């Protein structure tokens, strides 16, 4: 059950604005989130199993100020966090662990928690992309497969278990009876722009009531497809797989920035119309083809792991901020500014 905005607003109104803490699960982008909060003078809480603690202690500047040790990270201790004056920052692992329970957590969360429900459901996500007027790959019924398609397991983030098939027979050989999506395989360069939408700032690239910032762009390393040339050079045959292993920085030709900014703007405006907006970080997974056309196949309505590449700022933040600005720091900066201006409800739900 989705907790109401009113309930979250009430919890938030009991918070002492100058003592707000930032909390997240110790995983995914936590080092960056804690580091960024530290740079902005905000205290942090790391939700962590005992065995993970030593990993975060190995990186003192990315280590939370306090740990909230749990046996099971999927059970977020919302009440305790609220008692600690904490705002929860959702990231990929948190969304994965908490699943649909995230919606009911009685703790203020950065962004609009409804957007995470739109992200979690592929049908809804495509509705969102289409409402934004963004080109998307075709989705096919298994019997209609007539071109290379990527088959995606339900809920599987990070590409695990995906496979390319070109015929219905090939599909049924591997996925008979399984809950999957069949998507046209996009040929081109993958580009994953990371955006931050601030409803608080009234300057810069104006979108809705605020401003849109491009924080960075990444591309991923996926096993085994991204090392395919080596495998082929070694004379081996292999079945392409897409398990995400890491990320690398991408800087795009400057003339493509106009498409990138307009896509981000359209996603924010569609989010406003569909479910009340998307303050904070989000990312589009796109492929740019040889005609420089963008196609998007995924929205992440939260911070993505690709932002871990630039804890000291990116080739895009350098033109916006005089200090090194990571996505983690950008989040903390927004929380700080909103708390000071009494505008936390604009960026929290
Ligand atoms: P996802 O779970 O949607 O983030 O996809 C994981 C990875 O699979 C992506 O990073 C891409 O490399 C690949 N992929 C997903 N969808 C497509 C597509 N429609 N065409 C080509 N590659 C795709």
The CATH number covering residue 246 comes to 3.30.470.20
Report the run of H or E that residue 242 belongs to, with start and end.
strand 242-249
Q: Looking at ligand 1, which atom is closest to the CA of residue 156?
A: 2
Residues 109 and 167 in one domain: no
pLDDT the model gives residue 155: 76
In terms of Cα–Cα distance, which of 172, 177, 181, 182 is closest to 154?
Answer: 181
Q: Quick one: pLDDT at residue 156? A: 62
- Confirm if 210 and 198 have CB atoms less than 8 A apart: yes
Q: For 269-278, give one letter per residue: b (16+ CB within 10 A) or e.
A: bbbbebbebb
**Do residues 211 and 330 both lie within one domain?**
yes
| Sequence-ordered alpha helix ranges (H) in the chain | 5-13, 30-39, 53-57, 78-83, 92-98, 113-120, 122-131, 168-175, 228-233, 257-275, 327-340, 344-347
Which atom of ligand 1 is least distant from the CA of 183? 19
Residues 151 and 215 reside in one and the same domain = no
d(CA 77, CA 11): 15
Cβ-in-10-Å burial (0-12, 13-18, 19+) of 235 comes to exposed
Q: Ligand 1 mean position to 219 CA, how many Å?
A: 11
Minimum CA distance residue for ligand 1 atom 5:
159
Atom of ligand 1 nearest to the CA of 184: 19
- In this structure, the answer to whether residues 155 and 51 fall within a common structural domain is no
pLDDT (tens, 9 = 90+) of the chain, 349 residues, equals 899 999 999 999 999 999 999 999 999 999 999 999 999 999 999 999 999 999 999 999 999 999 999 999 889 999 999 999 999 999 999 999 999 899 999 999 999 999 999 999 999 999 999 999 999 999 999 999 999 999 999 876 788 999 999 999 999 999 999 999 999 999 999 999 999 999 999 999 999 999 999 999 999 999 999 999 999 999 999 999 999 999 999 999 999 999 999 999 999 999 999 999 999 999 999 999 999 999 999 999 999 999 999 999 999 999 999 999 999 999 999 999 999 999 999 999 9
132 CA to centre of ligand 1 in angstroms: 20
Same domain, 176 and 240: no
Predicted pLDDT of residue 158: 81
Distance 82 CA to ligand 1 centre (A): 37
Residue range of the domain that includes 155 = 142-184
Nearest to 25 by CA among 80, 93, 102, 120: 93
Distances 335 to 158, 190, 199, 302 between C-alpha atoms, Å = 29, 31, 12, 15
User: Both 32 and 54 in a single domain?
Assistant: yes
From the CA of 325, how far away is ligand 1's center (Å)? 28
If one residue of 150, 220, 246, 282 were mutated to test the ligand 1 pocket, choosing by the most ligand atoms within 8 A of its CB, it would be 150
Quick one: 271 and 246 in the same domain?
A: yes
**In a shared domain, residues 16 and 99:** yes
Measured between alpha carbons, how far is 218 from 281 in angstroms, rounded to an integer? Answer: 14
What is the tally of structural domains in the chain?
A: 2
In this structure, the answer to whether residues 222 and 104 fall within a common structural domain is yes
* Cα gap 299→194, rounded to integer Å: 10
Residues within a 6 A CB radius of ligand 1: 137, 150, 157, 159, 162, 183, 185-186, 190, 220, 222, 242, 285, 297-298
């Amino acid at each position: 059950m989705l907790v109401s905005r009113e309930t979250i607003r009430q919890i938030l109104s009991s918070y002492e604005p100058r003592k707000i803490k930032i909390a997240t699960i110790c995983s995914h982008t936590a080092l960056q989130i804690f580091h960024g909060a530290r740079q902005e003078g905000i205290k942090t809480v790391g939700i962590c199993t005992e065995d993970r603690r030593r990993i975060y202690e190995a990186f003192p500047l990315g280590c939370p100020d306090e740990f909230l040790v749990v046996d099971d990270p999927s059970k977020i201790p919302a009440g305790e966090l609220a008692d600690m004056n904490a705002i929860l920052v959702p990231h990929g692992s948190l969304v994965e662990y908490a699943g649909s329970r995230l919606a009911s957590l009685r703790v203020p969360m950065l962004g609009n928690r409804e957007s995470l429900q739109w992200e979690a459901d592929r049908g809804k996500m495509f509705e969102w992309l289409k409402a934004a007027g963004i080109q998307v790959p075709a989705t096919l019924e298994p019997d209609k497969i007539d071109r290379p398609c990527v088959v995606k397991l339900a809920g599987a983030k990070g590409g695990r278990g995906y496979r390319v098939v070109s015929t219905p027979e090939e599909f049924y050989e591997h996925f008979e009876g399984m809950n999957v999506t069949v998507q046209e395989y996009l040929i081109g360069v993958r580009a994953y722009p990371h955006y931050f939408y601030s409803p608080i700032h009234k300057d810069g690239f104006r979108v809705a009531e605020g401003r849109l910032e491009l924080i960075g762009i990444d591309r991923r390393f996926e096993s085994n497809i991204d090392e395919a040339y080596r495998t082929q050079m070694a004379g081996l045959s292999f079945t392409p797989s897409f398990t995400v292993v890491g990320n690398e920085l991408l800087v795009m030709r400057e003339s493509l920035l106009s498409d990138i900014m307009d896509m981000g703007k359209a996603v924010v405006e569609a989010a406003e119309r569909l479910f009340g907006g998307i303050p904070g970080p989000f990312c589009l997974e796109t492929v740019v083809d040889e005609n420089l056309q963008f196609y998007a196949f995924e929205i992440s309505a939260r911070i993505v792991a690709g932002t871990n590449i630039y804890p000291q700022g990116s080739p895009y933040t350098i033109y916006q901020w005089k200090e090194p600005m990571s996505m983690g720091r950008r989040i903390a900066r927004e929380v700080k500014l909103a708390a000071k201006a009494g505008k936390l409800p604009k960026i929290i739900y």
